[in-house]
Amino acid sequence: MMADLTFKNPELLWLALVLVPLTVYYVFQHRKNRAEFRFSNVAGAKAVGNTIKSKLIHLPFVLRSLAIALLVVVLARPQSTSSWQDVTTEGIDIVMALDISGSMLAEDFKPNRLEAAKKVAKKFIGNRPNDRLGLVVFAGESFTQCPLTTDHSVILNLFEDVKSGMLEDGTAIGMGLATSVKRLKDSEAISKVVILLTDGDNNSGSIAPATAAEIAKEFGVRVYTIGVGTRGTAPMPFVDPFGRTRYQDMEVKINEELLTRIADMTEGKYFRATDNESLEAVYTEIDELEKSKIDVTEYRKRKEEFLPFAIVALLLLGLELLLKQTILRSIV
């Protein structure tokens, strides 16, 4: 327990230095008093020196010194740090909704949008050790690649398996968001978050993005939306009839108005990433935003631990007084 103690007023511990002059004074007085004794012969002096009383003569001073030291500790207000409570241990539940439609293979990001998004997302996961994280992928439909878990090695491994073509092509933003919210609706975490990344507009799925955003709002889920893609056109790979990879410049069409509206409805934020560096900056900002929100809910509880020290100090003073009034009465 002693290793876990802190002091409210540690500067008062310097008061223990008063024991130094008290000890010097005691030693001086003891030698002075001892010099005043007169014995008729050496045998009598030896007999006195071998009594129990003579051996315990310094005990009252030792007891008093220990009591003073303990009372100084009491004044410094020892507090238990092992009893601190911090709600950050509950963490945040975060579902990452990742667009894996065919357009995510565009190479305005290196090596392409999807691989760049996976790389940055995995780094983000590594910075959130106390959170539960999940992964939803969507294209023309949506699928839970990994439910909420604290085993980050699992979700990182499943990220490696994510690739375009796993699902029917298209961009079902509403479905991706709805599936993510479904994973969070029963969560008891202090903060529930969806990070939705897409490079297009909603063009498929049975749930409208606005409806999914309303559901998210109802369950207290905050949505950060990210639009990925350069401005203008982006090189899109395709395979020609001879099996060769060719590129065609395709216009980048991101429905920023829709993504902004989803974020605003859920008290989140919309971001636009136009290259690898800006995408990494987006995740860094989200990381900081969520840390600042959880810090507000943080609280700590301290327990005063002075009572045991005070009790022991009083017992020592009582023992000193008892010794002086009984077996050490004649020599102290």
313 neighbors 81 (Cβ within 8 angstroms):
no
CA angle centred on 220, ends 96 and 292, rounded to 5° = 70
Q: Give pLDDT tens digits for 225-254.
A: 999 999 999 999 998 888 888 999 999 999
8 neighbors 76 (Cβ within 8 angstroms):
yes
pLDDT, greater one: 37 or 200:
200
Which domains does the chain possess?
2-83+302-325 (no CATH), 89-296 (3.40.50.410)
Other beta carbons less than 10 A from residue 121's beta carbon: 22
- Express as a percent the part of the chain with pLDDT over 70: 84
192-198 vs 303-304, strand pairing mode: unpaired
Beta strand ranges found along 92-157 (DSSP E)? 93-99, 132-138, 142-149
pLDDT at 87: 43
User: Which among 212, 85, 231, 93 is positioned nearest to 150, based on CA atoms?
Assistant: 93
d(CA 53, CA 51): 5
d(CA 46, CA 112): 97
Element (H, E) at 329: none
327 neighbors 56 (Cβ within 8 angstroms):
yes
Please give the structure tokens belonging to residue 2.
């002693």
d(CA 308, CA 120): 53
Residue with tokens 């998210």: 216
Residues 86-91: what's their mean pLDDT? 50
Radius of gyration of the chain (CA): 37
Give this prediction's pTM: 0.63
132-138 vs 142-149, strand pairing mode: antiparallel
Band (296; pLDDT cuts 50, 70, 90)? very low
Taking 50 as the threshold, does the pLDDT of residue 1 lie above it?
no
Single-letter amino acid, residue 323: L
Q: Give pLDDT tens digits for 148-206.
A: 999 999 999 999 999 999 999 999 999 999 999 999 999 988 899 999 999 989 999 99
Taking 80 as the threshold, does the pLDDT of residue 306 lie above it?
yes
